[in-house]
Structure 1
Amino acid sequence: MDRLVSMQAFTRVVDVGSFARAAESLDLPKATLTRLIQNLETHLGVKLLHRTTRRISVTTDGAAYYERCVRILADVEEAEQSLTRHNNSPRGTLCVDTTSGLAQMVLLPHLHDFFKAYPDLKLELTINGKPIDLLKEGVDVVLRVGALDESMVARRIGQLKLAFYASPIYLRRVGTPQNLTELAQHKAVNFLSNRTGREMPWPLSRGGERTEVLLPSAISTNDADVYMACALEGHGIARISRAMAEPYVNSGRLVEVMSDWQTDELPISAMYPQNRHLSAKVRVFVNWAAELFSRHPHFGAAPQAVAA
């Protein structure tokens, strides 16, 4: 029995909660993975998993063994990566989940440079604005805007600068607000929080003044592309990142409003699981992404290096 392969199979089943999904992620037949787990239990003389037709749960012995396996596999990976770090060439597939906007505006224009620096890496880039379980989805690192997930390690790599915009179509119909009293008479395109499902209010500040408004809306959405389309079609005032709004402002399709008021910037963070060893491929990607964001005029923030 290949002990390391069996440990990897066992930890993956625990992570994803499914024999079928674990087998798929490891590119193994389900029967092979099942046999690996059974042989491991026989070798150890203990039951690691409770299996029913509906769910899989970890036994007390299995939970303790899982924690040991994670550390052992991390040590093996670190030993192998110590060699790749020597020639600065991490290998393998890196699974990154982010948003469409961050991918298109920051990452994609510079991917040739990334692959030139790290030719032995393959990138799997998925687009998802919602919170996900990294272990179950097989994702190494996520880039997210806004609130942090306290269950993960987070590194701030940038900041999203926002302002208020509306289309000339809307402003011709309703007028341009000049102050908070006039703003209260307008409608917004509201964004739905992916965490709570509720419309997100706008924080505003000017000098020492701070307030928060939630305007009525004819439409609200949790999709950034739909949100922008609604603003362009004149459905109300929207709070949009300056990076996304800039080309539409230049073409005359959007106009900034309430420019004497600022709205809070949102952190952009790279996040990865706490109970997983930080691999060389994640480390180099996060540091590369942080450098990209630090140079971007609309996303810039001092990058934090991910420690070796």
Structure 2
Amino acid sequence: MDQLLAIRAFARVVEAGTFTKAADSLQMPNATITKLIQSLETHLGVKLLQRTTRRVTVTPDGAAYYEKTARVLKELGDIDSSFGTAQAKPHGHLRVDAGSSVASLIVIPALPDFVQRYPDIQLDLGVSDRHVDLISDNVDCVIRGGVLTDMSLVARQIGKAPWVTCATPAYLKKHGTPQHPGELEQGHVLVNYLSARTSRAVSMHFSRGTEKLEIDSRHAIGINESNAHFAAAAAGLGIVQTFSYMARAQLASGELLPILQDWQPAPYPFYVVYPPNRHLSNRLRVFIDWIAERFSAQLAE
């Protein structure tokens, strides 16, 4: 038995849903596909597929085997694509995950340029503020900010985002403009970002020279998604601390006003993070270079 060919045949049946479609896509006789999978089942000693006259059903063992071997087939494809003509023309499937504000304000507006440069790359973009597991979620890379805790992953810093603390003119007219971070604990309304990992409010940080302050006062409203969190500020619900790239247009128009500008926290680092892999695929390599270029340009505007 050609085990690699049998695994490819099995994977194609799972993905196509029928032996006939799998055979057509692999340009093999239906009987050959059947024989390969039967040999694979005999080799493993488990039933991978339940076949009836109407459909093919993947068994629990088959589903587990498919999940593990799909990664092997993908890595083999990545190795192949790192050689020969594939270097000049990246192609294939790429899965990327990014936080909501990064996706909507930095990645997606720039995607027409990426598609024009690399038309043969199929990009799936997952958008959420939750932290995904690159291995179990089968993601090629993620764009993450803040302190990196998993040292087993490879990280490339792509930029640092300055912060801004701001509110609407109407809010400041009603509550007054604070001159010191400590005043935020005295009658002001805060809209805090809730961590997707812990569901706890993320503290507001302030820094001036060697003096550093962290404000943990009780918030009036907490929101766990970055775009919605910023929308609350624009709606006049209270004071927010967010990335300057999110508020750029509203600050320029006067819809929002910056406060405590002499109390700037350290810029927030962003990274592209991916699993360690000696055979980094060419499509992932060009995406990382591209997003680093785009991030730097966006933060410099």
Identity over aligned pairs, percent: 37
Structure 2 Cα separation of the partners of residues 112 and 250 of structure 1: 26
How far residue 189 of structure 1 moved from its aligned partner, in angstroms, is 0.5
**Conserved in 2, the CA contact under 8 Å of 1:169 and 1:233?**
no
* DSSP 3-state at the match of 1:163: strand
Check 1:100–1:149 CA distance in 2 against 1; reply closer, same or farther (3 A cut).
same
Equivalent residue for 2:180?
179
User: Structure 2: 5+ residue runs without aligned partners?
Assistant: 23-33, 49-58
Query: Which among 268, 272, 275 is matched to residue 273 of structure 1?
Result: 275
Structure 1 Cα separation of the partners of residues 5 and 218 of structure 2: 56
TM score, norm. by length of structure 1: 0.75
Equivalent residue for 2:246?
244
Structure 1 Cα separation of the partners of residues 241 and 164 of structure 2: 6
How far residue 203 of structure 1 moved from its aligned partner, in angstroms, is 2.0
Deviation readout 1:73-132 (Å, 9 max, x if unpaired): 63553134312344x211112222213322232223332332232221122222111112
**Conserved in 1, the CA contact under 8 Å of 2:96 and 2:139?**
yes
Structure 1 Cα separation of the partners of residues 208 and 9 of structure 2: 56
Structure 1 Cα separation of the partners of residues 161 and 275 of structure 2: 23
Structure 1 Cα separation of the partners of residues 250 and 182 of structure 2: 27
Equivalent residue for 2:29?
none
* DSSP 3-state at the match of 1:139: coil
Structure 2 Cα separation of the partners of residues 274 and 174 of structure 1: 51
How far residue 55 of structure 1 moved from its aligned partner, in angstroms, is 7.5
Structure 1 Cα separation of the partners of residues 230 and 236 of structure 2: 10
Equivalent residue for 1:211?
213
Equivalent residue for 1:148?
148
Check 1:153–1:172 CA distance in 2 against 1; reply closer, same or farther (3 A cut).
same
Equivalent residue for 1:116?
116
Check 1:57–1:85 CA distance in 2 against 1; reply closer, same or farther (3 A cut).
closer
Structure 2 Cα separation of the partners of residues 277 and 9 of structure 1: 24
Larger Rg: 2
Structure 1 Cα separation of the partners of residues 2 and 108 of structure 2: 40
**Conserved in 2, the CA contact under 8 Å of 1:161 and 1:298?**
no
How far residue 270 of structure 1 moved from its aligned partner, in angstroms, is 1.2
| Alignment of structure 1 residues 70-109 onto 2, 5 Å | 74-75=75-76, 77-86=78-87, 88-109=88-109
Equivalent residue for 2:16?
28
Structure 1 Cα separation of the partners of residues 156 and 37 of structure 2: 36
Please give the root-mean-square deviation of Cα atoms over the aligned residues, in Å: 3.6
Aligned AA for 1:222?
Answer: N
**Conserved in 2, the CA contact under 8 Å of 1:81 and 1:280?**
yes
Check 1:112–1:215 CA distance in 2 against 1; reply closer, same or farther (3 A cut).
same
Aligned AA for 2:16?
Answer: L
Aligned AA for 1:29?
Answer: G
* DSSP 3-state at the match of 1:27: helix
Structure 1 Cα separation of the partners of residues 176 and 250 of structure 2: 19
Structure 2 Cα separation of the partners of residues 161 and 218 of structure 1: 25
Structure 2 Cα separation of the partners of residues 232 and 288 of structure 1: 31
- Paired residues, what number? 275
